[in-house]
Structure 1
């Protein structure tokens, strides 16, 4: 399986994340990728290619134009206002406030376009987000050219980015944009399977009213886990998308036996729905020692996960999402790839 990866992910490295009432080094940091790269090479996944530049046209068809403009100019606007530090949202629209009016001041704009203040932006964030998207797009093109699967080692991740908001360490929704590219390339029905511990709220937001993209997410129950306000089982889509959104929220302490039952159900639903292609949002933060999750999957479980998903026998683009147990993130990620390849 070929991997696509850009060194430009390093341009995004905020020095602060608000966690537990204090500023800490972000859990989503460049070293995550180094562990994955090292493990890929150790296990013989040596076909690693640098992608071409990102094509923003598919993103423009999915995302709010004002949001994309904001991402591109936020840092310059922030500095022009005399702000000394990194971009962190301090003001957000709450119930009863206007959600239809974008502030002119950059401090207000940041709050308008952000849904989680743990996610900071730096001078290199936009370039890094584009390089992450470029890896996903290169993987999609490789699969479209005939490969059965490809791995996009994306950083920053993408599945929490909605059509008009960033958060959860995500700025551009790589999986959603790849799914759209698959549709544009001739796939009648595309499934996005999200196995990250945290609900893929951004992907759900983008496709919730569409019937041509099925979204299935296995995640921590929203009453207990970020993003808290979305990801319930009764969210099944609307309009043309009614029935094309499937959530599997699970409680603290969930182990692989229960988790795998949900996965099997999702795989069956994808098969019955008649998907022509698959995008896998691969987060490995369901791991038992992840610092910001509460599932109990062990490293061998990720091999079995990959084997089960491969049985769909669909052209598959795998996009890296979360996973914050740094020393295990490479092992768990490559375990999924090996399980998939050896199914």
Structure 2
């Protein structure tokens, strides 16, 4: 079956219609895409190592830098950005865990996700999954629960992100959505497991800050707090805008009332794209097209599809985070 690339978006292309030049169907190729578990765990724990080294660097510099409060404050902000970036990197693995892709069994994947990511960011993967799967079902509609891209990337967007206003709104909206999806006997939906993970996260993060202060590492305490409460949510929301907001979006439209329309992009495999768009976010278009594929195999999916009739669709959506920012920013 021939695909009309001028008329169709990849979201409407059925897996069964695609065939590469050798005659292999995508649905047959798809069966070979088992996760590369070594890559999953190496990159995940690499993020933890980067977070630890960033924290250690802030503790060290806070002791040896003699620049008065202005200099130490600037160092804390820089450290907060570094720690926030590392936490944002790790948060992308919460998303991968929502698709059961951090361990061979679903139960083990959920346990790894909560232990390695959930207790750092205060989110239970089972509760997050309820919200995130609706994002896949309702992308671009007024029912999409992950809706940062509904808003223009302007000064107000950034100020609300930096001041924590957007974080408070997002947390309130998230808890309401999880509660609305609760079923009788569903502990995660009612908030039981969610609260356990959240409380553990509060304890872990409070302990890091408290121990830093007790040891005299004031810069580390400030940087960790800024990383968690300012830079992590800001980076998350900016990344979502770059992934899903249309360059033709109306900045005055209320997309909670008017459908925005589904938009996805491919951001390539450069170093920044691989770190900012970790765990497959740099190939987010492909993830939305086939959500259960491990991020470790999305490059293989891209290679296959580039040999099919939808290659022009993919090329039209290839960009970089920098180019997408330049297209979408309204500052």
Specify the TM-score bucket, using the shorter chain as the normaliser. Answer: under 0.3
Bigger share in strand: 1
Which one scores higher on RCO, CA 8 angstroms, separation ≥ 6? 2
- The structure that has the greater radius of gyration is 2
More helix by share: 2
How does the TM-score come out when normalised to structure 2?
Answer: 0.28
